[in-house]
Amino acid sequence: MIELGRQAILIALLIAAYSIVMALLGGWTRRRDFVASAENGALAVWGAVLVAATILLHALVTRDFSIEYVAAYSSSTLPLYYSIAALWGGQKGSLLFWALILTSFSAVVVLQNRHRHRELMPYVVATLMSIALFFLCLLFFITPPFETLAVPAREGRDLNPLLQNYWMTIHPPSLYLGFVGMSVPFAFAIAALATGKLDTTWIRTTRRWTLFAWFFLSLGNLFGALWAYEVLGWGGYWAWDPVENAAFMPWLTGTAFLHSVMVQEKKNMLKVWNMVLIIMTFSLTIFGTFLTRSGVISSVHSFTQSGLGPFFLGFLALILVVSISLLLLRLPMLRSEAELDSLLSRESTFLFNNLILVGIAFAVFWGTMFPVISEAVRGVKITVGPPFFNKVNAPLGLILLFLMGVGPVIAWRRASWAHLRRTFAAPVTTGLVAGAACFIGGIRNYWAIVSFSLIFFVLATIFVEFYRGVRARQAMVGDNFLRALVQLISRNRRRYGGYIVHIGIVMIFVAITGTSAFRIEKQVTLNVGEIFEIGGYELRYDGLEERDTLHIAYLMARLEVYENGNHVDTLLPEKRFYKKPEQPTTEVAIRSTLGSDLYLVLGSYDAETRMATILAYLNPLIGFLYWGGAVLTLGTFVVILPVGATAPAAAYTASPIEATETRVSSR
């Protein structure tokens, strides 16, 4: 079995190389049979990688400790759920998992385009297979996942306890789906450049892929934040750690790309810019992997350094050289066919949105790379901390929030004053009223006031859009409100789904504002029976409790929570002692209510005196992080899922329906 896994990777590697050659030859000589062979090759690569991944998964699930990887990342007492997650718990497995996703996507692209985009496809296949070839080479030559131990281990070393968490099992897969998903629009962009077919075909055909990748990138970042919040025990969810930044940067440029392609579709502008954005986004996914694997930047919860850094750097250089050369070659053909008409237009709002997103990405890049840059320039490593990122990104984030209200509803080309007044009078008023209400309500943090005003402004613009749409439908068709709403959304899912995604993002802004402006933090060391107070709660420490199981020993501090003199909850923040590998971890206890989270950490304790140091946090509005993610998901589904009738699709499917009807009648 193990030998078969190794062979499968070798076979996949050889076929991928073959596919690249045949695709390029086929594209160059316009031999259809060559291209078809390359495409079949891509399917075969997928099959071979699937075999390899299945074998590794099987070994993990059956706990075959003769394989080094299985012995390192699972154990006989590890639950099945985490045994499966161990597939992406270690470096070798995660590279194989990456290759599996990439080749699966390639296969889907090939099958989707059997009869479409015949000119583009050779180069699409060549690009995708080149990326696959890189990962397969790593898997075969550098980090083979099927290495066996000379003497099979009697027991595995178990998955890192920090990774034995719900969010951690779904965080890496979603991030990978996002990272790898960006390869598809990138491959089509390269194909467009290579063939000179530079119209919007490559954008339209990859729109779903881009959205899909963006969605999983968003979820991946969000899951990572929730994991940090629930597991790492420092009370927050985002620390601007290099590992987090590595995943955040492609999200930023990907978001910019998602918006700016709309301008190209509508106005035939920004062609070069869109190329630059997708090249940047894809490069950042590879760069992020380089950053986390190479140890160039020391990160606190970092991946241990490995020898993979130079390979990723080399691959990144290759990507940049090839794509920038192609871009420069086609530059004359990419001239805009239209110009900006006015500063007050949707085009220019989108452009500013793009500038800010890329600006944030650049600032994050700069802050992350600052130690390397300063060492090169001044010979000393200088690091910048979270205050740098917050200081730069808070104002930029607020401008972005503002543009999120303006962009979707301002007129294309040129907005007249009458249009502006009609569109924005109500939302601006709403925003101002909300700001005033915050001030009257006693909030004196001006960042928070501005943020809440903008949040209500954006929500009002979206509400007005829905309201007007529904009223118009009701007037036209006479439906009831709910039916009109459903019809409205399903007739223009891209637009209204987009609004729903925006609502999700606004909710995430609510959580960020709440936690960064109003967070309360307290550290107390208590004797048994002592009471402390935080944000309206009174907590009494009732001593330490112990519990022992086969896998883990627990030590819990019992805290009784009172609100207005009433007992409302019992919280038990823990220390856990995993038995193999012997490792203590901290398990936080959280009381979630609509308005805020009470978050307790058992910092340390004295076994003799039973004194305990408790870290307590009150995180206002953090629940919006979860709900924002859910709304974002809903909005993406509305846009992306091929269900329900959309106006253009309805026309498109007309003939098959007719065909069915004829068949029915003839029977």
Residue 395 has a CB neighbour count (10 Å cut-off) of 12
In terms of Cβ atoms closer than 10 Å to its own Cβ (0-12, 13-18, 19+), residue 582 is: exposed
Contact string (CB under 8 A) for other proteins, positions 92-111, x = contact: x-x-----------------
Chain residues 611-630 in contact with other proteins, contact rule CB under 8 A: 611, 613, 615
CB of 580 to other proteins, least distance (A): 9
Contact string (CB under 8 A) for other proteins, positions 561-600, x = contact: --------------x-----x-xxxx--------------
Contact string (CB under 8 A) for other proteins, positions 277-296, x = contact: ----------------x---
Judged by beta carbon, residue 352 or residue 509, the one nearer other proteins is: 352
How far apart, in whole angstroms, are the C-alpha atoms of residue 526 and residue 543? 9
Phi–psi pair at 139, nearest 5 degrees = -70, -30
Is 162 a binding residue for other proteins by CB under 8 A? The answer is: yes
Number of alpha carbons in the 13 Å side-chain half-sphere of residue 422:
10
CB of 383 to other proteins, least distance (A): 5
Is 149 a binding residue for other proteins by CB under 8 A? The answer is: no
Is 498 a binding residue for other proteins by CB under 8 A? The answer is: no
DSSP helix/strand/coil, 594: coil
Is 423 a binding residue for other proteins by CB under 8 A? The answer is: no
Is 91 a binding residue for other proteins by CB under 8 A? The answer is: yes
Chain residues 56-75 in contact with other proteins, contact rule CB under 8 A: 72
Is 337 a binding residue for other proteins by CB under 8 A? The answer is: no
Is 529 a binding residue for other proteins by CB under 8 A? The answer is: no
Is 204 a binding residue for other proteins by CB under 8 A? The answer is: no
- Residues 6+ positions from 37 with CB-CB distance below 8 Å: 19, 22, 26
How far apart, in whole angstroms, are the C-alpha atoms of residue 77 and residue 453? 52
Contact 202, 120 (CB under 8 A): yes
Number of alpha carbons in the 13 Å side-chain half-sphere of residue 643:
5
Judged by beta carbon, residue 41 or residue 161, the one nearer other proteins is: 161
**Exposure class string for 297-331: b at 16+ Cβ within 10 A, else e:** bebeeebeeeebbebbeebbeebeebbeebbeebe
CB of 265 to other proteins, least distance (A): 20
Q: Considering only 245-253, 301-309, 434-442, 457-465, which stretch makes contact with other proteins by CB under 8 A? A: 301-309
Task: Out of 27, 173, 181, 359, name the contact with other proteins by CB under 8 A.
Answer: 359
Contact string (CB under 8 A) for other proteins, positions 362-391, x = contact: xx--xx--xx--------xxxxxxxxxx-x
Q: Where are the alpha helices (DSSP H) in 492-552?
A: 493-518
**Exposure class string for 486-511: b at 16+ Cβ within 10 A, else e:** ebbbbbebeebbbbbbbbbbbbbbbb
Judged by beta carbon, residue 581 or residue 595, the one nearer other proteins is: 581
How far apart, in whole angstroms, are the C-alpha atoms of residue 223 and residue 220? 5
Contact 97, 168 (CB under 8 A): no
How far apart, in whole angstroms, are the C-alpha atoms of residue 468 and residue 134? 52
Task: Out of 305, 416, 593, 660, name the contact with other proteins by CB under 8 A.
Answer: 305
Judged by beta carbon, residue 137 or residue 322, the one nearer other proteins is: 137
Give the per-residue SS3 of 447-508: HHHHHHHHHHHHHHHHHHHHHHHHHHHHHHHCCCHHHHHHHHHHHCHHHHHHHHHHHHHHHH
CB of 381 to other proteins, least distance (A): 4
Residues forming beta bridges with residue 524, ordered by sequence position: 614
Q: Considering only 117-125, 281-289, 352-360, 468-476, which stretch makes contact with other proteins by CB under 8 A? A: 352-360
Is 157 a binding residue for other proteins by CB under 8 A? The answer is: yes
Q: For the chain, what is the largest distance between any 2 Cα atoms, rounded to a whole number of angstroms?
A: 89
Is 604 a binding residue for other proteins by CB under 8 A? The answer is: yes
Judged by beta carbon, residue 570 or residue 583, the one nearer other proteins is: 583
Judged by beta carbon, residue 211 or residue 400, the one nearer other proteins is: 400
Task: Out of 7, 37, 302, 633, name the contact with other proteins by CB under 8 A.
Answer: 302
How far apart, in whole angstroms, are the C-alpha atoms of residue 619 and residue 592? 9
Residue 209 CA from chain centroid, whole number: 14
Is 341 a binding residue for other proteins by CB under 8 A? The answer is: yes
Judged by beta carbon, residue 158 or residue 465, the one nearer other proteins is: 158
- Residues 6+ positions from 387 with CB-CB distance below 8 Å: none
- Residues 6+ positions from 107 with CB-CB distance below 8 Å: 42, 43, 46
Q: Considering only 28-36, 154-162, 283-291, 432-440, which stretch makes contact with other proteins by CB under 8 A? A: 154-162
Q: Where are the alpha helices (DSSP H) in 30-117?
A: 32-61, 68-73, 80-85, 91-112
Q: Is the peptide bond before 242 cis (omega within 30 degrees of 0)?
A: no
CB of 106 to other proteins, least distance (A): 26
Judged by beta carbon, residue 161 or residue 185, the one nearer other proteins is: 161
Residues lying near other proteins in the complex (CB under 8 A) are found at 72, 90-92, 94, 157, 160, 162-163, 293, 298, 300-307, 339-343, 348, 351-352, 355-356, 359, 362-363, 366-367, 370-371, 380-389, 391-392, 395-396, 523, 525-527, 575, 581, 583-586, 601, 603-606, 609, 611, 613, 615
